[in-house]
Amino acid sequence: MVDLQDQKAFLPRECSLNQHSPSPPQRSVYSHALKAFDGLFHVGDVNPNYIVKSLHAIGRAVCSALEGMTGICANKLSVRPTETDNSADNSIVVSTCLTKNMDAALHPTDVVVPLRVSRRQAGENETMDEQMRDIFRIVNEDPRRTFAYGITVEDAQMSLWYLSRSCCIKSTPFNMTEHPDILVQIFTCLFTATDQQLGYDPLVTLLPDSSYVYELPSGGSRLNPLYYRTVELVSQFHSPDVTGRSSRIWRVIQVTSPSNPTRIPGTSERILKDTSLDVDVPTEAEIQEQLFHDIAAFGRTENWRSQGILKDMRKADIDELAEAFEGENFKRFFSCIIARHLGDPSAGSQNLNTGSANPSGKRRCFFVYELVCTVLHDIPTLGEVVDILKQCVTALRLMFCAGWVHRDVSSGNILAFPSTPQGPWQVKLSDLEFARKYPSPMSSADEPRVGTPYFMACELQTRVPFLPETGHRGRDRVRGPSKPVIHNYQHDLESVWWIFLWLVTMRIGPEPARDFGELFFQQKENPSYAGMRAYLFALPDALYSYERFPRTLPSSLYRPSAFLDQLNTLKIDLYWAYQSLNGSGSQGDRGSYSWIIGEGFSAFFEDIEKTRGDWNSIQMIVRRPLQHVHLHDPSGLSSSRKRNPPIKSSTCNRGTRRLRNITPSKETSASTSPTYSAAPAR
């Protein structure tokens, strides 16, 4: 303070009689006032550019004072001035920042502390979202950030913000003219803080070419740290809730170090996921380990081939499972994590925007995956897509044997990798973050839904099970017993059916059936949309009841006994399997799913194979040229818990394949090891 007085930045209070005090002081007014504010707030409505100019001058004075102090290491931050400060500018809100970049074009990575200045009347109408928008944007756009401070100014009132993935905190506003000592303390702390104290993760380094180097520190079985340099941002998701889920997925190469970011010879490209998770939620790596343990345990079970859960599976399919159990070959069906880092937990708090509590806090995690793959919706031909989806069903059968459900089967989570440039594709089922044992003590009917709306099972969207009916007229019709809808094995299989429908209606060129497809593939959750999808799924001939559809498809897909007919038959089989399952109340018995996961899907693939020559080479619409890239990070979805009216089922003929009666059966537990349940990210 003495140094600022020597610079004449502080004046005794009696020399600053023009200072305006808009509110009664909550503490004693400081004895001195800042010269830069002299007369500024004398009029009621102040141009925000003038306030920024004054804060810039005060910041420079504080920096000058710090430079003259021994033992103090300033970080060279300053308030960036605005491009204009003339009185003709009638800006209501001005956004600037504390940064080291005073003149050049500003990149999000240059912004250290966002600063938002608004007129008094603007601040009165601003929502919490608007006030912290700039802070939230910086946390999302700069991968180095674990948290950020922000400053908002409304007239003479200043507030300090702290925002992380765990909490959002706003200070009590103070009057800068009455308490300039607090303003100087804030600037002093920010101008002398280290990068880590300002919210930068020391494990993420920004390089001059705007790429990043991630460090996975040594620890556990890893004797030396690993370093990965980003090559491409493949995808990212940031929840609109500041304490919600956040993920980035990068294509990376392994390098020597941040100071020597050259590729280590002989290493392959990898995929790195940078994600923020609730502390009390098992990580994807932990889930994958437990899943693989349970699959291997089932494969070691004596006489596993004769277990009741496989009673309706063909010998060829059982032989395929047997081959997968040999030497843990089953891992080739999944996108495997080969390295990880789990960050330290951050403190939990309350989100000021939503009022929701997050007492457990968050932790930042890095996961490295073995292969850079191609997503299903970037596979070039329908024949290749079908082959990959057939392998995906094998992966789901492996999970079924172990007693696990995936809970987010989507086109972005089904990856593929060719063993050779001209070789066949090998499926890699990915994103096990939401996978869990079924049935699970963690499951409940009112838990938030997870998954991708495009491909979510109808029962999960409507919260209403498909139930059988007896009788034929009005009051004679009786619905069977109902149980709460909880994600089960058949819901994963239904997602595969929706993926098939999406691909043939939205991803086949040159004239995709978009009018039809856009009705049923939307990123929304509401009763009318869910009911429309359930109507399509429940009625046997609904696929053929829409104008111009399926005539907009290539004729080879909808001719009699062609691809679309078999897809419709699979839908009917799935629907009748739901009615049998729910009618008997046997959702918790794995043996009740034996027919649909075994014979039901095997017969579908067998039937479409008969016409492969008609559709095998049909070209798909892809988003990018073919390259082996793991793309997409599906988001958990939280939705209303309001139950919708029951969906009326109709009496209809069954598909061309005979559906057996599904009855509960006794089964032998494949494993007695502990289980993990993946709660949806909050």
Q: CATH number for the domain including 388? A: 1.10.510.10
Do residue 502 and residue 572 come from a single domain? yes
Do residue 282 and residue 424 come from a single domain? no
pLDDT confidence of residue 220: 85
Do residue 133 and residue 228 come from a single domain? no
pLDDT confidence of residue 14: 63
Do residue 285 and residue 148 come from a single domain? no
Q: How far apart are CA 608 and CA 562, in angstroms?
A: 7
User: Is 182 contained in some domain?
Assistant: yes
Q: Are 550 and 592 in contact (CB under 8 A)?
A: no
Nearest to 414 by CA among 503, 322, 505: 503
Token readout for 433 is 């973050």
pLDDT confidence of residue 481: 53
Q: Is 489 helix (H, G, I), strand (E, B) or coil?
A: helix
- Answer with the one of 198, 223, 238 that is the final residue of a domain: 198
Do residue 283 and residue 390 come from a single domain? no
pLDDT confidence of residue 641: 30
pLDDT confidence of residue 639: 34
Do residue 159 and residue 216 come from a single domain? no
pLDDT confidence of residue 468: 87
Q: What is the CATH number of the domain that holds 232?
A: 3.30.200
Name the residue with tokens 């111009």.
Answer: 548
The stretches in the chain having pLDDT less than 70 are 1-11, 14-26, 43-44, 84-90, 120-128, 347-360, 443-446, 470-482, 510-512, 624-682
User: Is 659 contained in some domain?
Assistant: no
pLDDT confidence of residue 122: 54
Do residue 9 and residue 75 come from a single domain? yes
Q: Are 230 and 251 in contact (CB under 8 A)?
A: yes
Do residue 92 and residue 228 come from a single domain? no
User: Is 354 contained in some domain?
Assistant: no
pLDDT confidence of residue 556: 87
User: Is 320 contained in some domain?
Assistant: no
**Domain span including residue 389:** 379-468+483-629
pLDDT confidence of residue 217: 97
Q: If you ran DSSP here, which 8-state letter would residue 652 be given?
A: -
Predicted structure pTM score: 0.84
Do residue 79 and residue 211 come from a single domain? no
pLDDT confidence of residue 578: 96
Strand partners, 273: 249, 367
- Answer with the one of 629, 647, 669 that is the final residue of a domain: 629
Pairing of strands 93-99, 147-154: unpaired
- Answer with the one of 581, 605, 629 that is the final residue of a domain: 629
Q: Is 624 helix (H, G, I), strand (E, B) or coil?
A: coil
How many CA atoms are closer than 13 Å to the CA of 68, on its beta-carbon side? 11
pLDDT confidence of residue 126: 63
User: Is 301 contained in some domain?
Assistant: no
pLDDT confidence of residue 323: 97
Do residue 177 and residue 67 come from a single domain? yes
Q: How far apart are CA 412 and CA 428, in angstroms?
A: 11
Residue environment code for 365-378, b if the CB has 16+ CB neighbours within 10 A, otherwise e: bbbbbbbbbbbbbb
Q: How far apart are CA 680 and CA 97, in angstroms?
A: 35
Q: How far apart are CA 59 and CA 4, in angstroms?
A: 11
Q: Are 461 and 534 in contact (CB under 8 A)?
A: yes
Q: What is the CATH number of the domain that holds 99?
A: 3.90.1570
User: Is 34 contained in some domain?
Assistant: yes
**Structural domains of the chain, count:** 3
User: Is 665 contained in some domain?
Assistant: no
Q: Find the helix packing angle between 489-506 and 563-584, rounded to 10°.
A: 160
Do residue 183 and residue 208 come from a single domain? no
Q: Are 351 and 358 in contact (CB under 8 A)?
A: yes
pLDDT confidence of residue 262: 97
Do residue 177 and residue 216 come from a single domain? no
User: Is 96 contained in some domain?
Assistant: yes
